[in-house]
Every structure is written in structure tokens, then in C-alpha cells.
């Protein structure tokens, strides 16, 4: 008897399988007995050799174990067995046995996998497979990004440092297999239902800002949310997993309600914003979501929905990880009026497409330290919007060009703190920094504005691609919930 019931850490519904006594030496006379269930398997029963079907053959071909390895020997002896990614051999077909790993995956899949690192990771993650190694590349789920913005106006520098700049860096890092950038027009309509023209007109504005910042349609899929009806159905199913009181406790929802003066007259669609966002993220099986700090509560609620769904229906959804800007000053850029958040609705923004004259006017009118009344007075840099913007945008090479009397930002801050440095001089320096940062973005935007039919085609093609991905996820969700009634006569089944 070959025993593979070594004690292991098990995820939801993990299989403990063992190969039991056989009556002859022929592989087809062996019986594989499963205990428990594997990701939705309906019963635990002996399955005779060969019962796994064509999907088993396909899966074994895909795994292709190394010649001479114990794994390869076992699969040749027992060709009916399906290698289960839940750490053991199991009796179910590849269609059933589809675990969705959660947590941070150290390497991306595909041709660039570091084999040595993959081997070390597999030995730690899958101890039950010892002494033979797990198939390396099979252990890596696709690395996918989903992020986006509401088209309620042009994008501003808060969007840029809070998320857009990070998106471009991640896009060009080569670490991600798929990147989806969503223009969230359906979410924008939740508080603009009476002004749909505002949302429609700004879809192209947001797309132009995306392209101007460096998002490449060859590397990223840009799409419009309302063109993916599967997202609405997913939202409807997820609503059953969230209570009203939980949504009310969401800090971002509370802040947005207060800012918009909704109070008791909250649109239901707006109230369900966090659930809709969870549908957006999970529909594309996003493993990472780059966001600003203000979106953290939304992502936490999304993770709660994922955990609840997987606990109730079996592992189906991917648990996303949050990617915040590395620069702390970029977590939440204040408005030029000193308020906690830069917001289009508050009119305290510097837009990516602003003209040089508009940028200069806004910078020179920025709120600073209210205690710094005269140049000789000691000033405060912490909480001072001008210095927060410098922390976010300034680079060492700007000092020799625009402010050569200082070696760097630390020296500039020290002078301001001890007194003798006026706000006007600091603001002029910030204006030069912003002009240098935004000039290439503005130029690229002007170039794309001359190619609006191309932008239209990018969005149309991207929406088609995105819909196919969302439809596949919805299929898995309906299967997990067992509401795919007309597939394989499921409605007629008693179990």
C-alpha cells in the first residue's frame, strides 16, 4: 500500500487521498479513495481507474512531470489519478479541481519564472509533495492588476502620484501577466444619475489622461465599466453577503456621504459602491490593486466579500493584495486650499492637463503655514501643502536647475523651519518642479487629442477583451453557487 496521508496544512476542502489495496498488478484495477471533498466535489466515493475522463488526460499532459522523478513514476503507475493543486492526488477532474490561491505570490508565471526560486517556494508551500518537487510553473497563478477611476472630470495630480504613476511603473515592470484599467462610468452615475452627459463627456477625458501618463494599450487593457454587464450580476450576488450596517461602517463611504451632503437621501447605488467595487476587482481575478490611501477601506471590504464567498461556496474568488505608493507623501495629496483631500468636487485641484499659466496661478495661491506670517518667522513643513507637494514631486536634479543655492530638499526644509525663507520663493520652486513634471504629460495628451478615433478604438477593443474575462469569472461563480441550472442538466440533479 502506498500511503500519501502525511499530515499537512490544509486549505478549505483540501483532499486527503490514499491509494488503497488493489486486486491485481494492472493499473486499471486500482482504486483511489478520496476522503472529504475537493473544491465542490459532491460526494466521497471510490473512483475506479480511468473514470476521470478526458480532462484528466489533458491535465496530466499539461503537468508533464520530470522523467525519473517519483511523481512521474506514480503517474505512470496510476494514469487515472489527477494531480491536485490542493497538495495531493485526488479523484476529481480538472474541471472541478480548480483552486484559487490567495496571498502574495512571489513570482509571476510564464516564461520568466526563476526556476531555483520557484523550487524553493514549492518545497515550503507544498511539503506534502516531498520528496519529489511540485510542478514549478503550475504553482503560479497569473499576476493581474485591476484599477480605475470615475469619469467625473479630468484627472489631477493627486490621481497621478496616488495611483497613476504607480500603474505605469507596474505596467512596465514585466511582473504582471494582465493589467486592466477601468473607466468606472457606472459608479460615477451613482451620484450623477441626473447628469449622465457629464459622465459621458468625461470618459474620453479620462482615457486621454491615461494615455498621456504612459499607460500603453499594448500592455494594459483599457475598458469602460458599463460595457461589462457581468459586473452588475456579480454585484447582485455579492449583496447577499454584506449587511447594511457593515457598509455604513465603511470610513470611505461615510466620508463621501458627508462630502456630498447626502445624509438621509443616499442613493442606493452609491451606498452599494463598495460591493460594486468588489465585483470589479474579483471579475478580473485581480491579484493586486494599486490604490491611494483613501481606498483602503474599500479594498478591505472587498477582501471580506472574497473570504465570505469562498467560505460559503468553495474557493472560487481571488483574494487581492493592496499596492500603496512607496512615497508616503503620495498616499493622500491635500488640496491647494489645505483641505485633507484633493477633490474635483471641491475645486481644489491641479489638473494634469492644466496650462502652464493655470498651474502657476494655483501654486502661487496655495495654502501654507498659517503661523509663518513674515519671512523671518520659523515655519512648519509638516502639514504644509507646499512641502507635501515637494515631497511628492521633487527630484534631486531639480535643485541645480531651479534652486542651486540649496543642495537638496532637506536643506530647504531646515532653512524654512529656522526662519529667513519666504513662502513665495518656495512656491516659485514648486511651480518650476510641477511644470517640469507635467509638461511631457500635457504634450502627450495634445498628441492623443489629434487621434480621437484611435482612442475610441482602444476603448472598444479593450471593453470586448474585458467582457470575455468577466464572463469566465461569472461562469465560475454561478457554478460554485450551483445556479448554472441548464449546464450538464444540473437542474435535474438531486445532490
For residue 71, CA distances in Å to 76, 78, 80 come to 9, 10, 14
Instruction: Return the pLDDT at 315.
Output: 93
CB atoms within 10 A of CB 137: 16
More confident residue, 75 or 108: 75
| Nearest Cα residue to 211 out of 186, 188, 177, 181 | 181
Q: Where are the alpha helices (DSSP H) in 86-129?
A: 115-125
pLDDT-based confidence at residue 250 (cuts at 50, 70, 90): confident
CB atoms within 10 A of CB 291: 21
Instruction: Return the pLDDT at 490.
Output: 86
pLDDT-based confidence at residue 263 (cuts at 50, 70, 90): low
Among 89-103, 177-191, 375-389, 470-484, whose mean pLDDT is lowest? 89-103
How far, rounded to the nearest angstrom, does the alpha carbon of residue 132 sit from its chain's CA centroid?
34
> What pTM, to 2 d.p., does this model score?
0.70
| pLDDT tens digits, 266-292 | 888 888 889 999 999 999 999 999 877
Contact 138, 63 (CB under 8 A): yes
Instruction: Return the pLDDT at 407.
Output: 92
CA–CA separation, 331 vs 324, rounded Å?
Answer: 7
Instruction: Return the pLDDT at 385.
Output: 92
Among 160-169, 264-273, 324-333, 358-367, whose mean pLDDT is lowest? 324-333
CA–CA separation, 271 vs 253, rounded Å?
Answer: 7
Q: Where are the alpha helices (DSSP H) in 132-222?
A: 157-159, 165-171, 185-188, 196-213
Strands (E), 36-153: 46-48, 82-84, 88-90, 144-149
Instruction: Return the pLDDT at 117.
Output: 54
Question: What's the rounded mean pLDDT across residues 418-437?
Answer: 95
At residue 26, the 3 state secondary structure works out as coil
Amino acid at each position: 500500500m502506498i500511503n500519501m496521508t502525511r499530515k499537512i496544512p490544509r486549505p478549505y476542502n483540501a483532499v486527503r487521498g490514499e491509494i488503497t489495496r488493489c486486486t491485481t498488478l494492472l493499473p486499471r484495477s486500482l482504486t483511489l479513495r478520496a476522503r472529504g471533498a475537493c473544491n465542490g466535489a459532491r460526494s466521497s466515493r471510490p473512483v475506479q481507474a480511468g473514470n476521470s475522463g478526458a480532462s484528466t488526460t489533458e491535465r496530466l499532459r499539461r503537468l508533464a512531470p520530470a522523467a525519473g522523478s517519483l511523481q512521474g513514476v506514480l503517474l505512470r503507475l496510476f494514469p487515472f489519478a489527477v494531480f491536485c493543486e490542493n497538495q495531493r492526488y485526488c479523484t476529481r477532474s480538472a474541471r472541478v479541481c480548480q483552486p484559487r490561491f490567495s496571498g502574495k505570490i512571489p513570482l509571476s508565471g510564464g516564461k520568466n519564472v526563476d526556476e531555483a526560486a520557484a523550487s524553493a517556494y514549492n518545497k515550503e508551500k507544498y511539503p506534502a509533495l516531498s520528496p519529489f518537487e511540485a510542478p514549478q510553473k503550475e504553482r503560479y497563478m497569473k499576476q493581474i492588476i485591476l484599477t480605475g477611476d470615475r469619469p467625473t472630470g479630468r484627472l489631477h495630480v493627486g490621481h497621478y502620484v496616488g495611483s497613476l504613476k504607480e500603474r505605469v511603473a507596474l505596467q512596465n515592470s514585466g511582473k504582471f501577466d494582465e493589467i486592466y484599467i477601468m473607466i468606472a462610468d457606472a459608479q460615477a452615475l451613482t451620484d450623477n444619475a441626473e447628469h449622465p452627459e457629464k459622465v459621458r463627456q468625461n470618459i474620453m477625458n479620462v482615457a486621454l489622461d491615461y494615455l498621456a501618463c504612459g499607460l500603453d494599450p499594448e500592455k494594459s487593457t483599457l475598458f469602460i465599466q458599463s460595457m461589462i454587464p457581468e459586473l452588475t450580476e456579480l454585484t447582485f450576488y455579492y449583496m447577499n453577503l454584506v449587511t447594511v450596517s457593515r457598509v455604513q461602517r465603511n470610513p470611505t463611504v461615510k466620508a463621501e456621504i458627508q462630502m456630498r451632503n447626502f445624509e438621509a437621501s443616499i442613493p442606493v447605488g452609491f451606498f452599494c459602491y463598495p460591493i460594486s467595487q468588489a465585483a470589479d476587482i474579483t471579475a478580473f481575478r485581480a491579484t493586486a490593486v494599486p490604490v491611494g490611501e483613501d481606498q483602503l477601506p474599500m479594498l478591505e471590504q472587498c477582501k471580506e466579500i472574497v473570504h465570505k464567498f469562498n467560505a460559503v461556496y468553495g474557493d472560487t474568488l481571488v483574494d487581492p493584495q493592496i499596492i500603496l505608493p512607496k512615497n508616503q507623501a503620495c498616499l493622500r495629496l491635500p488640496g491647494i486650499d489645505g483641505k485633507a483631500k484633493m477633490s474635483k468636487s471641491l475645486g481644489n485641484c491641479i489638473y494634469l492637463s492644466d496650462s502652464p499659466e493655470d498651474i502657476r496661478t494655483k501654486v502661487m495661491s496655495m495654502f501654507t503655514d498659517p503661523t509663518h506670517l513674515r519671512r523671518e518667522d520659523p515655519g512648519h513643513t509638516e502639514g504644509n501643502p507646499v512641502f507635501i507637494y515637494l515631497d511628492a514631486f521633487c527630484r534631486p536634479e531639480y535643485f541645480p536647475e531651479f534652486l542651486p543655492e540649496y543642495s537638496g530638499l532637506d536643506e530647504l526644509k531646515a532653512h524654512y523651519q529656522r526662519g529667513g525663507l519666504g513662502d513665495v520663493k518656495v512656491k516659485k520652486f514648486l511651480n518650476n518642479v510641477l511644470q517640469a513634471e507635467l509638461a511631457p504629460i500635457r504634450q502627450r495628451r495634445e498628441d492623443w487629442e489629434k487621434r480621437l478615433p484611435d482612442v475610441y478604438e482602444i476603448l472598444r477593443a479593450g471593453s470586448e477583451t474585458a467582457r470575455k474575462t468577466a464572463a469566465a469569472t461569472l461562469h465560475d461563480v454561478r457554478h460554485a453557487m450551483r445556479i448554472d441550472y441548464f449546464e450538464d442538466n444540473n437542474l435535474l440533479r438531486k445532490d
